[in-house]
Chain A
């Protein structure tokens, strides 16, 4: 099965790292309830790059941020649906190097705690541990954030704390999620010293820091610092930053935009996450740097075998980067499928409009194709197709019933009556007939 839709449980969920089911996120405003994300379903498969495209305000960022519960509530309201996430652990057979058991990824999904792999309602009959990110307690979520799911932000200049060096910001990830490993590497794995443990996870108090600065503890502290330095430098080196040992002592304002984004990527991939959410990671960068950053994300994704949710409004970029594409419009997914198919044979009129709007050599100089009309208000929307006012093929039924996302011809799905006509409709829309 190539896409998830709510009614039938997905068959091949073993390979999915996350599935969004009927997600609804609304915002309370003075004018009414804004349905920013209104019933979104999709799967992210292990190791794939899924592009989430759509125009500004279509809900793609809210969808992505919902994964890590970053949407401020209030004014945000989680109005329904779930985000299921299947965390992986390092493959015990090959300790992360890649073997037949883990299909070369070095990682294995965690067995379900309820049925130990047998399949039960808790894990949706997959036998794998399934976590509902929208419902787990904050503490459990914090363990997932940065470790199993990481995120890269749009503007690296704003996403790095100006008051801290690059080193301390990347070291933060290790102290949150890898404190045992740090102690191990420092040769202190067996140490029961609570002070050292607190030092690694950076929860020491003031007077404890003084204790650590005294001779008996000092050498051990040095070793820990050196291990962390090494880990940070290795993380930075992976993003092809020259001279990481020097760069990590710098403050963000001393680095260029591209360097900052590399540091962000290093931080995001530091713990080898199962899922990387990239929220328009190159929008704030200039075009030459953009190309290199995208190349880097692709390379690292292949090496780490992470799944990537790539959010963008740049279709030509998505075409180059993504394995599958989901097109969002006004809080809904209108079309989802493999990239080549979407671009070769777009099913939804909106997708067609978007693809037609990509500037190409076929257009006359100075002329750009646009979709007529504007995005509808998302305040208490009526039960109709969201695209009806701008659609050239709309007929009466489009304004009365809301089309569901369902498979059309080929391997992809669209939410449009052209491909999935309702049985009792008097008049059906068709690409062959322009109605407006």
Chain B
């Protein structure tokens, strides 16, 4: 092209680029609004995350460690409706409402940490394997196979048991289990995307491999990861609760699994509330993220387009 010096920009360029972004975002939002189940899931997530974030405002934090259940030794096994303990108390005088609210904070912390660690590890491993291929691919994928050959709950259990019961170790155990899924998803996507003609087209205009990866391959491979990460925000809490239920977290932690575990002894005696409310929270949390995850898959995956 003969570039003439008098060729000048037609309009404000940055505003144009921003407009394009907004337009795309608007399209996605409209798709989300159209799907009622996704909306329900989204509302539940917003509610629970709001609860987690504003926990110190909703209920007075325990001192010195707000993640520990407060003890009210004057009110053991109180039923729901007791003044000061709306959802009742546990055997050790812990306020169930406190457990429910601060449990959300614990769960949010757990799922965010685990999902972000695993997505990053999975992205690195999967991208290296898929983009470079050859021997590196072979080595990394065999490694992934080894991890996959052990059932995830048992594997997490083994790690947590070896490292000793603590919440930090539950995070480690879950991260060790969940990254393999992302590695496989990313690898498959990268291999698929890199065969596209626009990757050749980018090579043709002189782009370097790193640039092709970051501009052409990664942005087009990322959507299944977004879906999986959303689903895992729920799954991590589910499995995390399972691990703490069987006693791999510190006793007295404001965590739903721990509360269910401590309350279950009283169920036969009619004290249902100590287990039911935290259990319900685990259920709603997992359900909400699954609803949104499914909704996102429908929107982002072109193959399911015909369903709507």
Interface residues of A (CB under 8 A from B): 68, 70, 96, 142-147, 150-151, 153-155, 158-165, 167, 172-173, 176-178, 181, 185, 222, 225-231, 233-235, 238, 244-245, 249-251, 264, 266-267, 269-272
Contact = CB atoms under 8 A, between A and B. Distances in A.
A267 B205 contact: yes
A222 B14 contact: yes
Given A145-B206, A228-B13, A267-B201, 19 more contacts: A96-B2, A145-B205, A161-B198, A161-B220, A165-B20, A173-B206, A176-B206, A222-B13, A225-B13, A225-B14, A229-B9, A230-B10, A245-B16, A249-B17, A249-B20, A266-B1, A267-B205, A269-B1, A270-B1
B215 interface: yes
A249 B207 contact: no
A225 B1 CA distance: 18
Interface in B27-75: none
B216 interface: yes
Contacts of B219: 161, 163-164
A222 B201 CA distance: 28
A295 to B, nearest CB: 19
Contact of B10 (A155, A164, A229): A229
25 contacts: A68-B203, A142-B206, A142-B207, A142-B208, A143-B206, A153-B200, A153-B201, A155-B197, A159-B198, A159-B200, A161-B198, A161-B219, A161-B220, A163-B220, A172-B205, A176-B206, A225-B14, A227-B9, A230-B7, A233-B10, A234-B4, A245-B11, A249-B19, A251-B24, A266-B1
> Of B24, B196, B200, which is in contact with the most chain A CB atoms at under 10 Å from its CB?
B200
B204 A145 contact: yes
Interface in B200-251: 200-208, 215-216, 219-220
A158 B16 contact: no
Contacts of A160: 198, 201
Interface in B55-112: none
User: For the complex, would chain A's binding face be called helix, strand, loop or mixed by DSSP majority?
Assistant: helix
A251 B196 contact: no
B307 interface: no
B217 to A, nearest CB: 10
A146 B205 contact: yes
A251 B20 contact: yes
Nearest to A141: B206
B200 to A, nearest CB: 6
User: For the complex, would chain B's binding face be called helix, strand, loop or mixed by DSSP majority?
Assistant: helix
Given A158-B197, A162-B220, A225-B14, A231 B1 contact: yes
B1 A272 contact: yes
Nearest to A264: B201
Contacts of A267: 201, 205
B202 A172 contact: yes
A145 B202 CA distance: 10
Given A146-B205, A150-B205, A158 B9 contact: no
B227 to A, nearest CB: 16
B206 A161 contact: no
A143 B11 CA distance: 31
Interface residues of B, number: 33
B11 A146 contact: no
B198 A68 contact: no
A249 B208 contact: no
Contacts of A151: 201, 204
> Of B2, B8, B201, B202, which is in contact with the most chain A CB atoms at under 10 Å from its CB?
B201
Contacts of A164: 215, 219
Contacts of A251: 20, 24
B204 A146 contact: yes
Nearest to A97: B2
Nearest to B24: A251
Interface in B119-178: none
A159 B196 CA distance: 7
A234 B7 contact: yes
Contacts of A155: 197
Nearest to B21: A165
A162 B197 CA distance: 11
A238 B216 contact: no
Contacts of A150: 204-205
Nearest to B212: A161
A167 B13 CA distance: 10
Contact of B200 (A70, A176, A227, A228): A70
A70 B199 CA distance: 10
Nearest to B216: A161
B24 to A, nearest CB: 7
Given A155-B197, A160-B198, A233-B10, A181 B206 contact: no
B269 interface: no
Contacts of B19: 249
Nearest to A236: B1
Given A146-B205, A249-B19, A234 B3 contact: yes
Contacts of B207: 142, 172, 176
A102 to B, nearest CB: 14
B300 to A, nearest CB: 12
A209 B285 CA distance: 38
A83 B183 CA distance: 40
A96 B17 CA distance: 33
Given A145-B203, A150-B205, A226 B9 contact: yes
Contacts of B201: 151, 153, 159-161, 264, 267
B198 to A, nearest CB: 4
Contacts of B8: 226, 230
Given A172-B207, A238-B1, A159 B197 contact: yes
